[in-house]
Structure 1
Amino acid sequence: MPKSQEIVLAEPRGFCAGVDRAIEIVERALTKFGRPIYVRHEIVHNTYVVNDLKAKGAIFIEELSDVPAGATLVFSAHGVSKAIQDEAKQRGFNIFDATCPLVTKVHVEVAKLHREGFEFIMIGHKGHPEVEGTMGQLDRGIHLVEDVEDVARVSPAQTAKLAVVTQTTLSVDDAAEILAAVKRRFPNVREPKQQDICYATQNRQDAVKVLAPNVDVMVVVGSLSSSNSNRLREVAQRLGTDAYMVDSPDDLKPEWFAGKSRVGLTAGASAPEILVTQVIERLRALGAVSVRSMPGVLETVHFPLPMGLGDKSMQAAG
């Protein structure tokens, strides 16, 4: 590494309000009800966070049959299908829903328009838990498209009442391209009143668009399973900047930084700041000499906790 190497931090980066809320729900449930607390799917897509909560007493499961009767169960930030909600109620669990409120907003919109006779085209990634949760709000009439080619193949039963929704963690540019193809094929399609892609995803991508052209290499802190982290890497690469995603400082390779004088650093919405700090320490060990933050949007969004886990209930429990 050149001796003058500088690290430039993207702003904003890291945890969003939905992730903060989801982790706090699990931690408060552990405090109030004791271990173990069962969580359906990874609470957020980050290895460090999941391992930290496991150490505190959280047990992550995919099948509700793995949860004992009467146990406390938390739904992950990605949301779940109606079938999962119904099964959990039938099994009598003590349930706390950590679904991000911005995902819940999409679920509510789907349910409302379905009652009005709408079918849906959903823009998203097949197999992602958020997509499965949103599509699982209905038993029919919702069609997934992953790319422009899918739009040409999709065949709703009717087009008079057709609406489009999107996964909240997509690339803004990708979603816009696919939405344009949907509108070309179905000119009367109903769009969301507000874009479904969440504020945090948008802000982090916008920050990378500003930062990437001004650095020699970009590092994105995030797990491979994290959709929004993957999109940050792709945004930088599209701008012609070498970009790598790391789950921990151990993933950094010295050759990525050979001859590079400026390193951009960001983190996905599910990646904790402690990992960013550890990556900075590793980059310093590799030769970086200074760190500065770029100017960026200040995020002040805060989502309330579910009933039964708020401050008053915790004081009462204590």
Structure 2
Amino acid sequence: MTSDAPTRPQLRLFLASPRGFCAGVDRAIQIVERAIEKFGAPVYVRHEIVHNRHVVDRLKALGAIFIEELDEAPDDRPVVFSAHGVPKSVPAEAKSRQMIYLDATCPLVSKVHVEAQKHFDNQREIVLIGHAGHPEVVGTMGQLPEGTVTLIEDIEDARTWQPKDASNVAFLTQTTLSVDDTADMVALLKQRFPTIAAPHKEDICYATTNRQDAVKMLAEASDLILVVGSRNSSNSVRLKEVGLKAGAKAAYLIDDASGLEWSWFEGVQTIGLTAGASAPEDLVQGVIDAISGHFDLTIEELVEARETVTFKLPRLLTTA
């Protein structure tokens, strides 16, 4: 007896590893959750804790109120600073108002802040490679007096920047940039200023680097790459760009399974799937479930690295 059910087309899916949450994002989300448990709702959060709509909406449902500036929060409720970091003026204001505040800045971003202060103390002219207006860039530049740090956004900026003293300069980078694009700018700065002070260890974080390397593996194996992440997430946008640059015929950034367009799959036999560092794993699973509803799916994990990094929570949340 033969079945009349149509056979679904076969599709091979390569799943990037690592993908999704990094240690800094995981810590930041836990800080908001624990603060709500300890202090009750509402807890105010200055800026989106991480750049993902689903994460923000879930925390709102638990009792988080997201604000852009500290003056939107009352003095008598706790406030959390986002994983991207804040200018020094923000905790200073919170202290002056005697607020309870928790700093969820990723420790790898805090490392860049410390480097910035050291260069300033050594009277170096500082350039920051990054994207104008990104909260991490605003926070890093806000560690020092206004006008102290010059922002470099592209290779042309790196080519034209003119310091007052070319023998006493330093550079920093945003942690979520394209490793390859940043390398080109750094190489040019080092060529122009051979004595430029560089970070002791790469500013671009391990999680960004690992996810971009994993996407390069996907690009070699896949006709199409899907990146789960929000459009305001720098590291998610970079993953799409890196995939295309590495040779993928097409790459799309989607918030979740609802962003899938089935026309993308025409003529596609292999697909690569990853997620930005602020995207939860359940969204990745939702995409897999949606695709498996249309295709006979075989899944293979491509492992670029295994991540074991964890960051401690603030003492205020771990003491009674």
TM-score tier, shorter chain, comes to: over 0.9
Task: After TM superposition, give the deviation of residue 284 of structure 1 in Å.
Answer: 0.9
Where do 1:1-318 residues align within 5 Å? Answer: 3-139=9-145, 140-241=147-248, 242-310=250-318, 313=319, 316=320
Rounded Cα–Cα distance in structure 2 between residues aligned with 1:285 and 1:39: 38
* Deviation sequence 1:46-65 (CA, Å, 0-9, x none): 01000000110000101111
Amino acid paired to 1:115 = D
Matched-pair identity in %: 54
Rounded Cα–Cα distance in structure 2 between residues aligned with 1:119 and 1:185: 14
Q: SS where residue 159 of structure 1 aligns? A: coil
Rounded Cα–Cα distance in structure 2 between residues aligned with 1:288 and 1:91: 59
Amino acid paired to 1:246 = I
Q: SS where residue 18 of structure 2 aligns? A: coil
Q: SS where residue 164 of structure 1 aligns? A: strand
Rounded Cα–Cα distance in structure 2 between residues aligned with 1:63 and 1:192: 31
Task: After TM superposition, give the deviation of residue 2 of structure 1 in Å.
Answer: 6.8
Task: After TM superposition, give the deviation of residue 24 of structure 1 in Å.
Answer: 0.2
* Deviation sequence 1:17-57 (CA, Å, 0-9, x none): 00000000000000000000000000000010000001100
Rounded Cα–Cα distance in structure 2 between residues aligned with 1:294 and 1:69: 49
Task: After TM superposition, give the deviation of residue 229 of structure 1 in Å.
Answer: 0.5
TM-score normalized by the length of structure 1 = 0.95
Task: After TM superposition, give the deviation of residue 8 of structure 1 in Å.
Answer: 1.1
* Deviation sequence 1:226-254 (CA, Å, 0-9, x none): 00001110011112311000001100000
Does the 8 Å contact 2:167/2:193 carry over to 1?
no
TM-score normalized by the length of structure 2 = 0.95
Q: Determine the structure 1 residue equivalent to 2:4.
A: none
For these two proteins, the number of residue pairs brought into alignment is 312
Does the 8 Å contact 1:2/1:260 carry over to 2?
no
Task: After TM superposition, give the deviation of residue 296 of structure 1 in Å.
Answer: 2.8
Q: SS where residue 143 of structure 2 aligns? A: coil
Rounded Cα–Cα distance in structure 1 between residues aligned with 2:303 and 2:179: 21
Does the 8 Å contact 2:217/2:302 carry over to 1?
no
Task: After TM superposition, give the deviation of residue 295 of structure 1 in Å.
Answer: 2.5
The CA RMSD over aligned residues, in Å, is: 1.3
Rounded Cα–Cα distance in structure 2 between residues aligned with 1:159 and 1:83: 30
Rounded Cα–Cα distance in structure 1 between residues aligned with 2:159 and 2:184: 13
Rounded Cα–Cα distance in structure 2 between residues aligned with 1:2 and 1:235: 31
* Deviation sequence 1:96-121 (CA, Å, 0-9, x none): 00000000001011112211211211
Q: SS where residue 303 of structure 2 aligns? A: coil
Rounded Cα–Cα distance in structure 1 between residues aligned with 2:94 and 2:296: 50
Q: SS where residue 138 of structure 1 aligns? A: coil
Amino acid paired to 1:212 = A
For structure 1, the 5+ residue unaligned runs are none
Amino acid paired to 2:126 = F
